[in-house]
Amino acid sequence: MGTSPTPDPKKPFLSDIQEIRRRARKHIEKGAVTESYKPDLETSLRVLNEALATEIVCVLRYKRHHYMASGIHAQAVAQEFLEHANEEQGHADQIAQRIVQLKGEPNFNPEGLLMRSHAEYVEGTSLLDMIKEDLVAERIAIESYSEIIRWLANDDPTTRSLIEEILKKEEEHANDLSTLLATLNPEGK
Ligand SMILES: [Fe+2]
Ligand SMILES: [Fe+2]
């Protein structure tokens, strides 16, 4: 047998650090997006912009419901709607920030907003209607965010954990709304 060096199977992971740094420098203009960014970036940005549109539509719907519920003297429910509106606004901001980190552009264009959004804007006529519509919208958000999380899998852990955090909040919202529904409409009519 010759004496040629055999590759060390225990070669430390960090020995590639110089290559990682070289690549990071080479594409410095890409900001947080490195060559190890696995998902299709264009698809990620489209998916995130759809999530952004969903959050904006939810802010608008909750705001409308907040003011309408205030008008019919349902202060506790109106307060709940306002809290949700503010939290959806926070989600929209977090998503927009992530889009910029990925060197994309957050789409705030009112044109086509509803087309991009997963959830709908339904005004609702009665207090019960509003709560039901909000619950439907939350359930849609829960489904589409779960789908996004499955799609991202382990390819973009930062976006994934952001969406997971948001999903957790949407589940709380859905739970709040079904509690309200059960309280206001115990027969489930
Ligand atoms: Fe949200
Ligand atoms: Fe929500």
Span 26-71, pLDDT tens digits = 666 676 787 778 888 999 999 999 999 999 999 999 999 999 998 8
C-alpha of residue 90 to centroid of ligand 2, in Å:
10
| Structure-block tokens of residue 140 | 């849609």
**What is d(CA 134, CA 186) in angstroms, rounded to the nearest whole number?**
18
Identify which ligand lies nearest to the alpha carbon of 174.
2
C-alpha of residue 177 to centroid of ligand 2, in Å:
10
C-alpha of residue 22 to centroid of ligand 1, in Å:
38
Share of the chain above pLDDT 90, in %: 67
Reference 95, options 39, 163, 161; nearest CA is 163
C-alpha of residue 86 to centroid of ligand 1, in Å:
9
Please write the tens of the pLDDT for every residue from 68-110.
Answer: 998 887 999 999 999 999 999 999 999 999 999 999 999 999 9
pLDDT of residue 20: 61
Residue 158, Ramachandran bin (φ over 0: left; ψ between -120 and 50: alpha; else beta): alpha
Share of the chain above pLDDT 70, in %: 83
**What is d(CA 39, CA 156) in angstroms, rounded to the nearest whole number?**
7
C-alpha of residue 76 to centroid of ligand 2, in Å:
17
**What is d(CA 3, CA 95) in angstroms, rounded to the nearest whole number?**
56
C-alpha of residue 166 to centroid of ligand 2, in Å:
8
C-alpha of residue 176 to centroid of ligand 1, in Å:
14
pTM over the 0.85 mark? no
Query: How far out from the chain centre does Cα 172 lie?
Result: 14
Dihedral angle of Cα 176, 182, 188, 189, to the nearest 10 degrees: -80
